[in-house]
């Protein structure tokens, strides 16, 4: 068993992982850090974020307003100490991105420009046209390349955490090129693997978003928190699920039904005029996606070969503004939907976009397993609660990627010893498990793709925009049956070199467990809050459910417990938009 030793091991090379890596390289140059990523870092899904990153910078804005918007956006399920820390640290993080060369769009006077975004009272979303995630990711990756203390494990897939004496001390990871599994040991490990949108059939997420870090922590005994809160972005292209950014509405785009009517005014988001923030098209994503479903039920949406849709109309913005502020929207819409938004409205429908839940961490990114940290979408630090506001997540990667790096560095300094041989033995066991379960396995009749598709259907049927106890119960049973069938899976590909089918089956194994935690958390939450809407329990129930769901892995079904929400300055109130 080959092994490698580091002070800190970061799993994932997207926005959070790279920000953590830069912090370690810059502030702790004597620590040796490994960045283990299943893809080359610039392929990470941060690349696909479009609209922008939020932070208070302008004189008309206030930290207080950013806090309040995030609290109410979360339907009071976010931890308010986390929100305050986030809002306070957000501006300096985005300024550092600027210093590192991120090509933020500018005002004529050379200052960074901001745009309005959904659920935000003041415009505070920094942007790089409509390719903000792309520019941030490449800026972070290129900046990280200058630090000699970073070792890059590109196209290595982590399959298990190595834990001895209750302390996480590394990962077992497969080198895709050779198919060999190695033990990558570290005194602290930071999970930054992103979301799990590929649980669902219709998602903006790239193929790589399979919840890897969520599973690794869940398997090691950490709770997955608030997994039932899943964000549907209101505007995806039917069929492909390709994202059309909220910036399209931030810049003035409107949503209309088949009669050309701005239907959002019927769902507590109006009146449509005058243009103002926290209203209509600039309401929060959960409310907009729910409004679509209601409108569909009334028969007022537009039929397409890929399900019903509504119109996102940008024509009144004019070609010049679209080219300047939304060039990627125009390119995507023309290429993938055959619609030029300068001349015709874009057909859109809600699409799975973001998992609010994830690995339970404290405000430093620490989990209950000593030495194990998490940041970014794979974590649930409880910034987003029951509904994330658009443009908070890109900033979240930076603020909490950096904080996790500091916490991990401190822990590594205090815990210098590694249980080398025991950890290597665990990695050997893992190699044997993968070989016997998949590579050398005799028999088996199920295809990876078949099981994945059935999982996708179950998740959509049980955990869509509107949920019910009956549908969730059915999906839970279906998932248990699917996990049984998974034991009968067989691969076509038994090679070692670059075996992508092996990676797919391991990802599927992760997703089945994560999906199960999501369904059970949703079943147990008998209230409606934010993105979790139950047709059989339509009201928010603060008495019972102003609490985080905590799903623990067991040999059978997950065990669901609850943990208090941190409320500091903003006691629970009704969420009000459109005023």
Residue 305, SS3? strand
Q: What are phi and psi of 89, to 5 degrees?
A: -90, -15
| Measured distance CA(421)–CA(400) in Å, rounded | 33
Beta-bridge partner residues of 152: 35
Active site residue 233: yes
Nearer to other proteins, 141 or 373 (CB): 141
The one catalytic residue in 249, 285, 529, 532 is 249
- Joined tokens for residue 3: 């092994």
Catalytic status, residue 249: yes
Task: Provide φ and ψ at 210, rounded to 5°.
Answer: -120, 25
Q: Interaction with other proteins in 142-161: which residues (CB under 8 A)?
A: 142-143, 145-146, 152, 154
Read off the DSSP letter of residue 223: P
Site for other proteins, residues 177 to 206, rule: CB under 8 A: 177, 201-202, 206
Q: Choose the binding region for other proteins from 94-102, 189-197, 277-285, 424-432 (rule: CB under 8 A).
A: 94-102
Nearer to other proteins, 240 or 468 (CB): 240
Q: Could you say which of 221, 239, 268, 272 contacts other proteins (CB under 8 A)? A: 239
92 is an interface residue for other proteins by CB under 8 A: yes
Listed in sequence order, the residues at least 6 apart from 487 whose beta carbon sits closer than 8 Å to its beta carbon are: none
Find the binding residues for other proteins in span 447-466 (CB under 8 A).
447-449
Among 29, 60, 64, 101, binds other proteins (CB under 8 A): 101
CA separation for the pair 526, 541 (Å, rounded): 8
Residue 201-220 contact track with other proteins, rule CB under 8 A, x = bound: xx---xxx------------
In degrees, rounded to 5, the angle at the alpha carbon of residue 110 between the alpha carbons of residues 108 and 112 is 100
Choose among 236, 478, 216: nearest CA to 353: 236
Host H or E run for residue 241: none
249-268 residues near other proteins, rule: CB under 8 A: none
Q: Among 190, 153, 175, 122, which residue's Cα sits nearest to residue 391? A: 122
Of these residues, 32, 138, 160, 233, which one is catalytic?
Answer: 233
Residue of 43, 160, 187, 311 that binds other proteins (CB under 8 A): 43
Which residue bears the tokens 């930290």? 63
**335 contacts other proteins (rule: CB under 8 A):** yes
Compute the least distance from the CB of residue 520 to other proteins, in Å: 26
When the beta carbons of 440 and 559 are compared against other proteins, the nearer one is 440
Per CB under 8 A, does 305 bind other proteins? yes
224 and 218 Cβ atoms separated by less than 8 Å: yes
**Selection from 384, 248, 264 nearest residue 314 by Cα:** 248
- 332: contact with other proteins by CB under 8 A: yes
Q: Which is nearer to other proteins, 86 or 328 (CB)?
A: 328
Our finding on whether 110 is near other proteins (CB under 8 A) is yes
For residues 58 and 510, give the distance between their C-alpha atoms in angstroms, rounded to a whole number.
Answer: 43
Classify burial at 468, counting beta carbons within 10 Å of its beta carbon; exposed 0-12, middle 13-18, buried 19 or more. Answer: middle
b/e burial code for range 415-430 (CB count within 10 A of at least 16 → b): eeebbeeebbebbeeb
2, 27, 29, 40: residue in contact with other proteins (rule CB under 8 A) = 40
Residue 267's CB is within 10 A of a number of other CB atoms, namely 18
Considering the complex, what minimum distance in angstroms separates the CB of residue 202 from other proteins? 6
Residue 569 corresponds to which tokens in the numbers above? Answer: 């300055």
CB of 55 to other proteins, least distance (A): 11
| Residue closer to other proteins, measured from CB, 272 or 444 | 444
**111 touches other proteins (CB under 8 A):** yes
Query: Which residues, in sequence order, are bridge partners of residue 402?
Result: none
Does position 538 interact with other proteins (CB under 8 A)? The reply is no
Distance CA 466, CA 577 (A): 20
Helices 469-486 + 448-462 axis angle, to 10: 170
Residues 488-507 that bind other proteins (CB under 8 A): 491-493, 495-501
Min dist CB 337 to other proteins, Å, is 9
Residue nearer to other proteins on the CB measure, 259 or 492:
492
Tell me which residue of 439, 453, 450 sits closest to 491, measured CA to CA. Answer: 439
Q: Using CB under 8 A, which of 19, 115, 124, 131 touches other proteins? A: 131
We find the least distance from the C-beta atom of residue 355 to other proteins, in angstroms, to be: 17
Which residues are near other proteins by CB under 8 A?
39-40, 42-45, 47-48, 92, 95-96, 98-101, 103-106, 108-112, 131, 134-135, 138, 142-143, 145-146, 152, 154, 177, 201-202, 206-208, 238-240, 242-243, 305-307, 328, 331-332, 335-336, 447-449, 491-493, 495-501
Which residues are catalytically annotated?
Answer: 233, 249
């Amino acid at each position: 068993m080959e092994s490698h030793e580091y002070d800190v091991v970061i799993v994932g090379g997207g926005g959070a992982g790279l920000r953590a890596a830069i912090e370690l390289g810059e502030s702790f140059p004597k620590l040796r850090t490994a960045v283990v990523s299943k893809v080359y870092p610039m392929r990470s899904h941060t690349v696909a974020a479009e609209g922008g990153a939020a932070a208070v910078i302008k004189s008309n804005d206030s930290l207080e307003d950013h806090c309040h918007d995030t609290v109410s956006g979360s339907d009071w399920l976010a931890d308010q100490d986390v929100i305050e820390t986030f809002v306070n640290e957000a501006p300096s993080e985005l300024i550092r991105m600027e210093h590192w060369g991120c090509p933020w769009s500018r005002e004529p006077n050379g200052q960074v420009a901001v745009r309005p975004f959904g659920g935000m009272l003041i415009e505070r979303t920094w942007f790089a046209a409509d390719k903000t995630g792309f520019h941030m990711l490449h800026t972070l990756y290129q900046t990280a390349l200058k630090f000699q203390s970073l070792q890059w494990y590109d196209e290595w897939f982590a399959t298990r955490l190595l834990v001895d004496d209750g302390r996480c001390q590394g990962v077992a990871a497969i080198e895709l090129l050779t198919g060999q599994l190695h033990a990558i040991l570290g005194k602290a490990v930071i999970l930054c693997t992103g979301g799990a949108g590929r649980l669902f059939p219709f998602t903006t997420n790239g193929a790589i978003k399979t919840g890897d870090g969520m599973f690794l922590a869940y398997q090691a005994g950490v709770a997955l928190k608030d997994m039932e809160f899943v964000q549907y972005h209101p505007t995806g292209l039917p069929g492909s699920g390709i994202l059309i950014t909220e910036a399209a509405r931030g810049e003035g785009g409107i949503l209309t039904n088949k009669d050309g009517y701005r239907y959002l005014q019927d769902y507590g988001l109006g009146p449509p005029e005058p243009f103002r923030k926290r209203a209509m098209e600039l309401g929060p994503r959960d409310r907009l996606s729910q409004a679509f479903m209601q409108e569909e039920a009334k028969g007022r949406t537009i039929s397409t070969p890929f399900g019903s849709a509504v119109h996102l109309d940008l024509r009144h913005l004019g070609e010049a503004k679209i080219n300047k502020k939304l060039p990627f929207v125009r390119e995507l819409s023309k290429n993938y939907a055959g619609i030029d938004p300068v001349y015709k409205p874009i057909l859109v429908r809600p699409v799975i976009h973001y998992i609010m839940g994830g690995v339970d961490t404290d405000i430093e990114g620490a989990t209950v397993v000593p030495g194990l940290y998490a940041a970014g979408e794979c974590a649930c630090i409880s910034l987003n609660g029951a509904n994330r506001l658009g443009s908070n997540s890109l900033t979240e990667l930076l603020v909490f990627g950096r904080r996790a790096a500091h916490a991990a560095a401190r822990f590594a300094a205090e815990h210098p010893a590694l249980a080398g041989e025991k950890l290597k033995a665990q990695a050997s066991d893992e190699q044997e498990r993968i070989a016997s379960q998949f590579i050398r396995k005799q028999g088996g009749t199920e295809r990876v793709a078949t099981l994945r598709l059935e999982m996708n259907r179950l998740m959509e049927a049980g955990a869509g925009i509107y949920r019910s106890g009956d549908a969730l119960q059915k999906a839970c049973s279906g998932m248990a049956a699917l996990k049984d069938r998974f034991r009968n899976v067989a691969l076509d590909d038994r090679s070692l070199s670059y075996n992508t089918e092996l990676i797919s089956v391991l990802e599927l194994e992760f997703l089945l467990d994560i999906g199960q935690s999501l369904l059970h958390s949703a079943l147990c939450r008998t209230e409606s809050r934010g993105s979790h809407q139950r047709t059989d329990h339509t009201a928010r129930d603060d008495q019972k459910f102003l609490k985080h769901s905590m799903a623990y892995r067991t040999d059978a079904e997950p065990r669901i417990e609850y943990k208090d929400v941190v409320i500091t300055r903003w006691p629970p109130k009704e969420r009000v938009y459109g005023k």
